[in-house]
Structure 1
Amino acid sequence: MQAWIHWKDGRPLELLDPILGDSFPTDEVMRCIHMALLCVQEDPAERPTVETIVLTLNSGSVTLPSPQQRAFFLKTDTYMPRKGLESDQSARKSMPWSVNEASITELHPR
């Protein structure tokens, strides 16, 4: 979300670690940030294909469309413990959740 805000405000290079100083090619970093924002577009049809990503990152000649609102963002919802545990208002907790409905898979050895 911070990347989107910096992009919208015209300050995408503020995402970089200050320890990098000026030791990076600005145009390449800008292209990578731009591509990353395109990859998380709300509408999947607006996202670049893998072929476009590879072509873009390997050459500076591809013109990219402007990214629109990103698909991933966090909201908070109130979590209420089950009855019998703590039922007063102080027991309510704010739990972050994502609207992208992605699941996390944990791998275990056989």
Structure 2
Amino acid sequence: MMAGQGDIRTWQEDFYLELHQHPEVSHHENATARKVAERLKQAGFQVHSGVGGTGVVGALRNGDGPTVLLRAGMDALPVRDGDDAALEGDGVLGQHRPGKPHPAAAHGNRPANDVP
């Protein structure tokens, strides 16, 4: 079960950083939705894009039985610059400059009151 875990973790970390370096605010998550849909398709999911605008639904069929639903938000909130250089990105609100608003995803989704 643990075989290949290192490979999975590497692409997950890369994907996480990629998404957080290019955050998009609500109803503008076009690139994010496209990337998520691609990953779901690669994993064998049936993908429906454009749900509610920019939403993505992935269905993995496994015969009869219980159904599991997982929901994840993809949007970022505009907040002030912090000090997390690894997650600095170019978000839809423009280039990041100290003290200027930009999406919260660049801060690893920390609460707004936790961002300096």
TM surpasses 0.5: no
Greater C-alpha radius of gyration: 1
Higher helix share: 1
Determine which structure has greater relative contact order: mean sequence separation of CA pairs < 8 Å that are 6+ residues apart, divided by chain length.
2
